[in-house]
Amino acid sequence: MPSRRHESLYPGPVCGVDEAGRGPLAGPVVAAAVILPDRGCPRGLDDSKKLTAASRARLHDRLMACAVVGVGIVEAEEIDRLNIYWATMKAMTLAVDAVAAALGHVPGHVLVDGNRLPRWGYAATPIVGGDALAQCIAAASIVAKHTRDTIMIRHAEAYPHYDWHSNKGYAAPAHLRALREHGPSPLHRRSFAPVAQAELVF
């Protein structure tokens, strides 16, 4: 289980950052930044991929009530313009900027899941597999994943044939089949190969 050992190595407040949605064919990439409280931290924080949707929703709500949280969202059109790597970096920057605005000052240190950092002015350290190691990054992974899933479920109401309520925009068979049959929606990432190929047909 993730611990707070990594947070203890740096001056506080320490902010964890993670993203959700680098791989899907549709929808935004979402990043979250979270500073956990010294006391009253929700139990059960873990890598969001290891949790059920119900657990993520419950922990998301508890984190929103007790932690300092920032969210950054970059939509499909901007992903196509920047590419997914730089769009992810922008989403992370927006998330930490939101936390800094809520605090009224920059975090003491930022821990980022992965091996790369955005080009920003924050003191930061990347941690590969950080969502399974540091509680603040695990918290960020939960907020980012739940936020993005909620967005895609909402979009599924307008575009039901892509089955986004189930696949959240990833390249599941039903999604790929709908792309071939209906073509891309305005929320698809046209720089991604399966979408570009489907667009050629329509």
One-letter amino acid at 165 equals H
pLDDT at residue 202 greater than cutoff 70: no
Q: Annotated binding residue at 18?
A: yes
Q: Annotated binding residue at 19?
A: yes
Q: Annotated binding residue at 113?
A: yes
The predicted-structure confidence for 13-41, as pLDDT tens digits, reads as follows: 999 999 999 999 999 999 999 999 998 89
Query: CA 149, CA 155: separation in Å to the nearest integer?
Result: 10
The predicted-structure confidence for 53-93, as pLDDT tens digits, reads as follows: 999 999 999 999 999 999 999 999 999 999 999 999 999 99
Report pLDDT for 193.
93
Q: Which residues contact 170 (CB under 8 A, 6 or more apart)?
A: 23, 24, 25
Which superfamily does CATH assign the domain made up of 7-160 to?
Ribonuclease H-like superfamily/Ribonuclease H (3.30.420.10)
The predicted-structure confidence for 86-141, as pLDDT tens digits, reads as follows: 999 999 999 999 999 999 999 999 999 999 999 999 999 999 999 999 999 999 99
